[in-house]
Amino acid sequence: MNKPSVGPGDVSGGKKRERAAELREKWLREFKPGKVYDAYNPKTAAEWRDKWLSGIKLGEGYDMEARYEAVRWLINWVAESLQYTLNGCNVAPFCTEMILEALQLHGGRPILPVEIDRLEDITIGLGAGLSSQGEVCGAVMAHTIAIGIDVTYRTRETAAIRRDVAAATRKFCRLFRERFGALRCEELTGLCFLKADGSEDPEAWKNFSTGSPPIGARCLDFMQFAIYAPLPSEEG
């Protein structure tokens, strides 16, 4: 994901940039309750995986190191994007696009079997529960798209694709709901990002970014799970 250039009124120093740095550190502290989540520390990453991937069988084709690298990129880009959000620059990425970009480009090797040009841009409207409407979590949608790519790359038989994608989607949704309690963004975060007139609610986004703990840190669990969860071709 190309980061926007800094222009007039953007984060160019001063108090806003300092505040962004403070919030970045706060987010990094809140990734794992009671512990510092170090995106570069294999030990804490392994602890996270033990917590959320327990009971999921991984096949021989599953590359844990590639997932770790993809998640590390995701965490640092989310933290970095805070400075744009705080400055009122509407370029902070949504969950769906970040997950798909991480799976396509940032695992050290491609995790998805084929790269679709600008897939992260194509799926922007799905993030935050269908563009801030609080519907199905963007992380769930991202993994569902990844399932479709994984399955359709292996066969062109429509009946088999429909069967396998449906089975894998239902399985992932069940695993997600078991771990996090819901599939809908509004239920998961407790926030409604839109006002009654359909415009975005800046107070909701403020709570998402700067609450104590920031609700956005919770969303990183959802996004990490969507990256770490195996695709159908990788299951044991």
**What percent of the chain clears pLDDT 70, i.e. is strictly above it?**
76
Q: Is the peptide bond before 213 cis (omega within 30 degrees of 0)?
A: yes
- The yes-or-no verdict on residue 32 having pLDDT over 70 is no
Cα dihedral 223/185/93/143 (nearest 10): 40
Pick the residue with more confidence: 7 or 153?
153
Helices 202-210 and 64-86: crossing angle in degrees, nearest 10, is 130
Give the tokens for residue 181.
């309690």
| pLDDT band for position 36 (cuts 50, 70, 90) | very low
pLDDT at position 101 is 92
19 near 197, Cβ under 8 Å?
Answer: no
What's the rounded Cα separation, in Å, for the pair 198 and 50? 40
Whether pLDDT at 161 is above 60 = yes
Select the more confidently predicted residue: 207 or 6: 207
CA distance 89 to 11: 9
Which of 3-7, 131-135, 178-182, 193-197 is predicted least confidently? 3-7
- Residue matched to tokens 């292996």: 154
- Residue 210 in tokens: 């700067």
Burial of 109 per CB tally in 10 Å (0-12, 13-18, 19+): exposed
State the DSSP code for 201: -
Q: How far, in Å, CA of 109 to CA of 115, rounded?
A: 11
Q: Stretch 103-117: mean pLDDT, rounded?
A: 89
Cα–Cα distance between 16 and 62 in angstroms, integer?
Answer: 41
Contact 231, 150 (CB under 8 A): yes
**For residue 169, is pLDDT > 90?**
yes
Q: Burial-class residue 196 by CB neighbours within 10 Å (0-12, 13-18, 19+).
A: exposed
DSSP letter at 92?
P
CB 179 within 8 A of CB 140: no
Contact partners, residue 29, CB within 8 Å, separation at least 6: 36, 37
57 — pLDDT class (breaks 50, 70, 90): very high
Residue ranges per structural domain of the chain: 17-234
